[in-house]
Chains A and B, each alone.
Chain A
Amino acid sequence: MSESAQIAAFENVPGAGDVRIHAVDKTYPGRSGSVTALKDVNVSVKGGEFVSILGPSGCGKSTLLRCVAGLDHPSQGSITLGGQPIDAPPLDMGFVFQRDVLLDWLNVINNVLLPCKLKKLPIHQWKPKALALLKLIGLAGFEHRRPWELSGGMRQRVAICRALLLNPTLLLMDEPFGALDAMTRDELNLELQDVWLSNAKTVLFVTHSISEAVFLADRVLVMSRSPGRIVDVIPVDLPRPRTLSVRETPAFTKYVAHIRQLFESFGILRGTNVR
């Protein structure tokens, strides 16, 4: 079966987007003995679910995401996607990094088409999809611009299009909006919700912003550090599509307050400097 046929085949298969993380440990060899980055992590994510992974820096949330991406491997335990163990980056996965990692020497459209080029899929078949994605995210007419002509928010939008190009069943995002200013971040949160609502795929979204985690997610995984583990899983029951004003509702602030108290009880926040 050709790779494009494989990618097409992943769609519409029940359970294709399910992610199961079972008893995962990750240790790194360090100078003074080994360092435990993840300890006994168990998560089950349903296909099409939006899950935020929230925690302080150094809690292993990025490590967990990299393990799901097949870019890193757990020391113990197993991770499956659609029932298949992940030992290499899955074919139907998109990854968005904190920095946009656009290639300076390619224009916008060719940056979006990069996964297609690397997988040797026919460009002409995927170009309309790339243009449609750019249009969806508000970048119509920017196809031939160079990355260095774009603002930070526009660059990250292009990176999201690149991750979505091959219509992945699994989208992994590692603090994708962490480097953006607050207003651009709000805009992109809304756009990400739109994209996800229009084409439900499993999303694992790593962040250290409590309100961003709650705003976007169906469920929030709360992580603590040393060792990195999941301390609570909080289902977010807020109607969709959510608007920015949802953040001022009592229901929303209750979720945020609850998570903040959770961090405080683990000695991570001291009741001050909360976003």
Chain B
Amino acid sequence: MYDNSTMETGKRTLSVLLVLVAFLAFWQLAVMLLRPPEYLLPSPVAVAKELGTAPEWYLSHAVRTIGATLLGFAAALGLGFIAAVGIVYSRILENTLYTLLVALNSIPKIALAPLFIIWMGTGLTSKVAVSFTIAVFAIVVDTVLGLRSIDPDALDLFKSVRATPLQILIRLRFPNSLPYLFAGMKVAISLALVGAIAGEFVASQAGLGYVILAAQGSFQTTRVFAAIVLLGVLGTILFFIVEVLEWVVCPWHVSHRERS
């Protein structure tokens, strides 16, 4: 069973890599043949060279963006989880907080970024705030769902041995909600990165969002591409970390999913 799934994963990774290499080769070839001006479309090789010229400079900006993303994500995870527990256990919170969250979710949260800059300045805090605002909804919604979708028989089992409500929360509802929480985390980690970049677009002196905006102003398209490539790599790594965590924390769920 394990060998089989490992092989499947290996095959899938290989095919993804092949597609990626083919795409880059096509791009490189197209640029070499059609020779568009570099400010319109640089070749992959040119982008790679650009990254190679100042790796530390790119790294320092990437670290800024990662910092804002992770802080925003962590805040969304912590506060979102607490809010979800409150919503599940309190009718009042469900009617107020949850209703408010659902209503606010229809606002494109990126539109709030300029407000956060006004309130918190152009430093890290405002980026973390945008990142948090955009990521928290996914955590709350999925955790509420997870805490609620308890097998009624499991609840009876706990009641049949006179488990306390706290025991039901900690030993039943919480572990049961983990697969849902991870589904929310996978959405939230990507959204947190979007939020950090959006914040950097509005006003900043550092971060990959700043790099993109500054390079765009001076038509350094190769540099824009270099930053975008870094963002792509970053997003993939962050998502992958959440997936590995899921494997470690709730292997039963991963196993169910692989079987179906």
Cβ of A158 < 8 Å from any Cβ of B? Answer: no
* CB <8 Å contact, B163 and A118: yes
Task: Tell me which residues from 86 to 113 in chain A have a Cβ below 8 Å from any Cβ of chain B.
Answer: 88-89, 91, 93, 95, 97-99, 101, 103-105
**CB of B171 to closest CB in A, whole Å:** 7
A103 to B168, CA, bound (A): 12
Q: Return chain B residues, CB-CB under 8 Å to A101.
A: 151, 153-154, 157
* CB <8 Å contact, B157 and A97: yes
**CB of A109 to closest CB in B, whole Å:** 16
* CB <8 Å contact, B255 and A69: no
* CB <8 Å contact, A148 and B255: yes
Partner of B160 from the list A95, A104, A105, A147 (CB cut-off 8 Å) is: A95
Instruction: Name A105's closest neighbour in chain B (CB-CB).
Output: B175
Q: Return chain A residues, CB-CB under 8 Å to B116.
A: none
Q: Return chain B residues, CB-CB under 8 Å to A35.
A: none
* CB <8 Å contact, B250 and A95: no
B interface, how many residues as a size bin? 20 to 34
Task: Tell me which residues from 5 to 58 in chain A have a Cβ below 8 Å from any Cβ of chain B.
Answer: none
Cβ of B64 < 8 Å from any Cβ of A? Answer: no
* CB <8 Å contact, B256 and A89: no
> Given A97-B153, A101-B151, A103-B175, A89 and B160 touching (CB < 8 A)?
yes
> Given A118-B161, A118-B163, A118-B167, A148 and B252 touching (CB < 8 A)?
yes
* CB <8 Å contact, A146 and B252: yes
**CB of B84 to closest CB in A, whole Å:** 19
Q: Return chain A residues, CB-CB under 8 Å to B154.
A: 101, 103
* CB <8 Å contact, A89 and B153: no
**CB of B51 to closest CB in A, whole Å:** 43
Cβ of A119 < 8 Å from any Cβ of B? Answer: yes
Q: Return chain B residues, CB-CB under 8 Å to A146.
A: 251-252
The secondary-structure label for the interface of chain A is: loop
Instruction: Name B156's closest neighbour in chain A (CB-CB).
Output: A71
**CB of B210 to closest CB in A, whole Å:** 43
A101 to B256, CA, bound (A): 15
Q: Return chain B residues, CB-CB under 8 Å to A93.
A: 160
* CB <8 Å contact, B175 and A89: no
Instruction: Name A162's closest neighbour in chain B (CB-CB).
Output: B157
**CB of A206 to closest CB in B, whole Å:** 14
Instruction: Name A97's closest neighbour in chain B (CB-CB).
Output: B153
Cβ of A115 < 8 Å from any Cβ of B? Answer: yes
Instruction: Name B253's closest neighbour in chain A (CB-CB).
Output: A104
A98 to B162, CA, bound (A): 20
* CB <8 Å contact, B255 and A119: no
Cβ of B35 < 8 Å from any Cβ of A? Answer: no
A104 to B253, CA, bound (A): 8
A88 to B252, CA, bound (A): 33
Binary CB contact string for chain B from 145 to 184 against chain A (1 if under 8 A, 0 otherwise): 0000001011011111111000100011001001000000
Partner of A89 from the list B161, B167, B251, B255 (CB cut-off 8 Å) is: B161
**CB of B253 to closest CB in A, whole Å:** 7
Q: Return chain A residues, CB-CB under 8 Å to B175.
A: 103-105
**CB of B121 to closest CB in A, whole Å:** 44
**CB of A147 to closest CB in B, whole Å:** 7
* CB <8 Å contact, A69 and B161: no
> Given A99-B153, A148-B256, A118 and B171 touching (CB < 8 A)?
yes
A71 to B162, CA, bound (A): 10
* CB <8 Å contact, A97 and B156: yes
Q: Return chain A residues, CB-CB under 8 Å to B172.
A: 103
* CB <8 Å contact, A71 and B252: no
Q: A66, A70, A118: which has the most chain B beta carbons within 10 Å?
A: A118
A114 to B159, CA, bound (A): 12
Q: Return chain A residues, CB-CB under 8 Å to B160.
A: 69-71, 89, 93, 95
Partner of A119 from the list B159, B162, B178 (CB cut-off 8 Å) is: B162
Instruction: Name A147's closest neighbour in chain B (CB-CB).
Output: B252
**CB of B225 to closest CB in A, whole Å:** 45
* CB <8 Å contact, A118 and B250: no
Q: B151, B157, B167: which has the most chain A beta carbons within 10 Å?
A: B157
**CB of B183 to closest CB in A, whole Å:** 16
Q: Return chain B residues, CB-CB under 8 Å to A71.
A: 156, 159-160
B residues apposed to A, CB below 8 Å: 151, 153-154, 156-163, 167, 171-172, 175, 178, 250-253, 255-256
- A-B contact list, 7 entries, CB within 8 Å: A71-B159, A71-B160, A89-B159, A89-B162, A95-B156, A95-B160, A101-B151
10 closest residue pairs by CB, A with B: A104-B252, A95-B160, A105-B175, A115-B161, A97-B153, A118-B163, A101-B153, A89-B160, A101-B154, A118-B161
Q: Given A91-B162, A147-B252, A148-B252, list of 9 further CB < 8 A pairs?
A: A88-B162, A89-B159, A97-B153, A98-B153, A99-B153, A104-B175, A104-B250, A119-B161, A146-B251
